[in-house]
């Protein structure tokens, strides 16, 4: 059974707080939410103008607040680009802190990825071995906490199926899975349907993202990911691919969250996206 959620990135441009996102979810009957984690202090977050959570916030008290809205986390986004040299220092600590915090909030998944560019001066084999060491360290802790580490196609390596396949085998563990992203795979020049078909057995979380015709014409094959697509889901050139991906997931018996990723425009655009996705899955979700 599909469940519908959304990424709070939708309200970055509106400068909403995380609690405003909870209010929107409650109003629109959405029970799952995904957001980024901030490892430190940010003035824009502290003033209530950023819809993500900081790891200094108390996770148990936040979970109680979320319970009051009838909303739970589907995933926490800790997508520091682990392919960079800093992935072994800053990236590892960031993900490990997020894993511990996720456990206390009852969040099942933590999202990770690589950088858009291949690190300068390094071979593909060197970078893959660098990330192998990182994921082995991360997954060992994730197993102890009962958290799934997802790899999202978003960068130079993760949007290429041959590298994604190798990364998903870095560790033989049920705690290393994939976060499918319909928009990132498309903008990177891949076929989202073929990408999902190849990795459908490894998917534990899904980003539903459309792509506008203008962005596809200008950047497909040059970008490897989109922060948020300025196009309502169902209104772009990726809509048919999304329909076919939903059918694959339905046949596979996917029992998880479809997390909507699009510009919200303070509500109207993501509400159109929500209505379209609900229509595709035959109900409220």
CATH number at residue 192: 3.20.20.150
Number of domains in the chain: 1
Q: Three-class SS string for 147-215? A: CEEEECCCCCCCCCHHHHHHHHCCCCCCCEEEEEEHHHHHHCCCCHHHHHHHHHHHEEEEEECCCCHHH
CA angle 264/266/270 to nearest 5° reads 30
What backbone torsions phi and psi does residue 255 show, to the nearest 5 degrees? -120, 75
pTM of the model: 0.97
> What SS3 state is found at 53?
strand
Which domain, by its residues, includes 40? Answer: 3-281
Report the DSSP pairing between strands 203-208 and 176-181. Answer: parallel
Confidence of residue 284 (pLDDT cuts 50, 70, 90): very low
195-253 pLDDT, tens digit each = 999 999 999 999 999 999 999 999 999 999 998 888 999 999 999 999 999 999 999 99
CB 223 within 8 A of CB 188: yes
User: For 124-173, what is each residue's pLDDT tens digit?
Assistant: 999 999 999 999 999 999 999 999 999 999 999 999 999 999 999 999 99
Identify the sign of the CA torsion 242, 247, 252, 255. Answer: positive
């Amino acid at each position: 059974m599909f469940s519908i959620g959304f990424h709070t990135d939708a309200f970055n441009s509106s400068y909403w707080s995380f609690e405003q996102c909870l209010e929107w979810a409650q109003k629109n009957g959405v029970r799952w939410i995904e957001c980024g984690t901030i490892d430190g202090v940010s003035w824009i977050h502290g003033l209530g103008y950023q819809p993500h959570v900081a790891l200094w916030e108390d996770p148990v008290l936040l979970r109680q607040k979320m319970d009051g809205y009838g909303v739970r986390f589907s995933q926490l986004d800790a997508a520091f680009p682990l392919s960079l040299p800093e992935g072994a220092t800053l990236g590892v600590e960031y993900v490990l802190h997020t894993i511990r915090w996720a456990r206390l909030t009852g969040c099942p998944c933590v999202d990770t990825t690589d950088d858009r560019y291949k690190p300068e001066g390094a071979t593909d084999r060197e970078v893959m071995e660098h990330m192998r060491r990182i994921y082995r360290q991360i997954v060992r802790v994730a197993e102890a906490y009962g958290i799934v580490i997802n790899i999202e196609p978003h960068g130079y390596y993760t949007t290429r199926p041959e590298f994604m396949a190798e990364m998903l085998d870095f560790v033989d563990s049920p705690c290393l899975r994939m976060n499918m992203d319909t928009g990132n795979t498309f903008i990177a020049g891949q076929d989202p349907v073929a990408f999902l078909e190849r990795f459908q057995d490894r998917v534990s979380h899904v980003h539903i993202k459309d792509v506008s015709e203008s962005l596809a014409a200008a950047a497909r094959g040059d970008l490897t990911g989109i922060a948020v697509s300025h196009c309502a889901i169902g209104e772009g050139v990726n809509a048919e691919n999304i329909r076919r991906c939903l059918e694959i997931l339905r046949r596979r018996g996917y029992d998880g969250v479809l997390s909507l990723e699009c510009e919200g425009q303070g509500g109207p655009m993501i509400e159109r996206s929500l209505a379209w996705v609900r229509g595709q899955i035959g109900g409220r979700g």
